[in-house]
Amino acid sequence: MDQAWHIGVIGGSGLAEGIGLDEAQEIAVRSPFGEPSGPVTTGRIGGVRFSFLARHGAGHRLTPSAVNYRANIDVLKRCGVTDLLALSAIGSLREALAPGHMIAVDQFIDRTEGRARSFFGPGLVAHVSLADPICPRLSGLATAAARAAGATVHAGGCYVAIEGPQFSTRAESLMYRAWGADVIGMTAMPEARLAREAELPYALLGMVTDYDAWRPSEAGVEAAEVFAVMKANAARARTAVRELARLLPPGRSASPIDRALDHAFATAPGARDPQLVARLDAVAGRVLG
């Protein structure tokens, strides 16, 4: 039987003020994985439930490396989110992806270092599939929603996630292009990995803010450029979320991602660490009981 949609939205740079939910309520949700970036704002658009979390916290306090991605995903799962839409500022590695455009990415290259990238570990080993890290259904709906909001939207593309906080050197920027990456950012990994472990279909709508550092005749990206383009496009991103609410089919049919953990566990039931299992009550309660 179909269930009700409950869309989680993680707002990135330029979207810390939220997405404009009706009947909005701010709730502090605790996580066994530590401090999330801030409270969750939960509310409605039309008949659809949404929960919003500002990735870098109120006032953009957290660096991409300091964001507790595990706690963020955990609290959204605890709120009952069924699907997760990430909104991010991204640099472009392709001429055709111009500042002001949006892109619904569908692949990742992960160059981040030292971030907690799994809910699982010693005492409960799990391996989920990440071949197709993006949910095609949610991504398709987000693409249509962004187009309905008036944006030029590119469907599909590869996002390389760097550790930051510095932007890339010209040599790195050229190397990522040669690797086949189309856009660059600092936050989608490990966010997308963790969403899959938490059985949350994940899509990422990126707002192109700059051409990074690969164009020979141009200076490399500066933060001011990113903030200015984001400021100019934040309203459109919010409209895209409202359009998404309008475009969602009335009921949510099951997704294979809802069962990503079905065959993922390597550790035998009797060998599992009860403390870790307890921490996983929200993320993996469906399979761990």
Query: How many angstroms separate the CA atoms of 116 and 190, rounded?
Result: 8
Q: Which residues, listed in sequence order, are joined to residue 153 by a DSSP beta bridge?
A: 102
> Quick check: 72 binds ligand LNRAV4D5 (CB under 6 A)?
no
Selected binder of ligand LNRAV4D5 within 27, 58, 223, 278 (CB under 6 A): 223
Tell me if 288 sits within 8 A of 280, measured CB to CB: yes
Q: Which residues, listed in sequence order, are joined to residue 207 by a DSSP beta bridge?
A: 89, 102
Residue 223's binding partner, choosing from ligand ADE, ligand LNRAV4D5, none, with beta-carbon cut-off 5 to 8 A by kind?
A: ligand LNRAV4D5
Contacts (CB under 6 A) with ligand ADE, residues 220-239:
221, 226
Residue 184's binding partner, choosing from ligand LNRAV4D5, ligand ADE, none, with beta-carbon cut-off 5 to 8 A by kind?
A: ligand ADE
Q: Applying CB under 6 A, which part among 95-103, 142-150, 184-192, 269-277 lies near ligand LNRAV4D5?
A: 184-192
Contacts (CB under 6 A) with ligand LNRAV4D5, residues 136-175:
164
Q: How far is the CB of 121 from ligand LNRAV4D5 (least distance, A)?
A: 26
Catalytic residues: 210, 212
Residue 64's binding partner, choosing from ligand ADE, ligand LNRAV4D5, none, with beta-carbon cut-off 5 to 8 A by kind?
A: ligand LNRAV4D5
Q: Check whether 213 is labelled as a binding-site residue.
A: no
Q: How far is the CB of 54 from ligand ADE (least distance, A)?
A: 16
Q: Cis bond leading into 190, ω under 30°?
A: yes
Residue 210's binding partner, choosing from ligand ADE, ligand LNRAV4D5, none, with beta-carbon cut-off 5 to 8 A by kind?
A: ligand ADE
User: Nearest Cα to 230, choosing from 102, 129, 109, 143?
Assistant: 102
Which H helix or E strand runs over 242?
A: helix 223-247
281: which 2 tokens? 């009550």
CB count in 10 Å sphere of residue 124: 22
Q: Check whether 211 is labelled as a binding-site residue.
A: yes
Residue 187's binding partner, choosing from ligand ADE, ligand LNRAV4D5, none, with beta-carbon cut-off 5 to 8 A by kind?
A: ligand LNRAV4D5
Query: How many angstroms separate the CA atoms of 100 and 140, rounded?
Result: 19
Selected binder of ligand ADE within 112, 143, 209, 233 (CB under 6 A): 209
| Per-position DSSP letters for 108-176, written without gaps between them | EEEE--S----S-BTTB-B----SS-S-HHHHHHHHHHHHHTT--EEE--EEEEE--SS---HHHHHHH
> Quick check: 238 binds ligand LNRAV4D5 (CB under 6 A)?
no
> Quick check: 233 binds ligand LNRAV4D5 (CB under 6 A)?
no
β-strands 83-92, 202-210: how paired?
parallel
Q: Which residues, listed in sequence order, are joined to residue 11 by a DSSP beta bridge?
A: 54, 87
Query: How many angstroms separate the CA atoms of 107 and 189, rounded?
Result: 11
Binding positions for phosphate are: 13, 55-56, 88-89, 187
Contact residues for ligand LNRAV4D5, defined by CB under 6 A: 12-13, 55-56, 64, 88-89, 164, 185-187, 223, 226
Contact residues for ligand ADE, defined by CB under 6 A: 89-91, 162, 167, 184-186, 209-210, 212, 221, 226
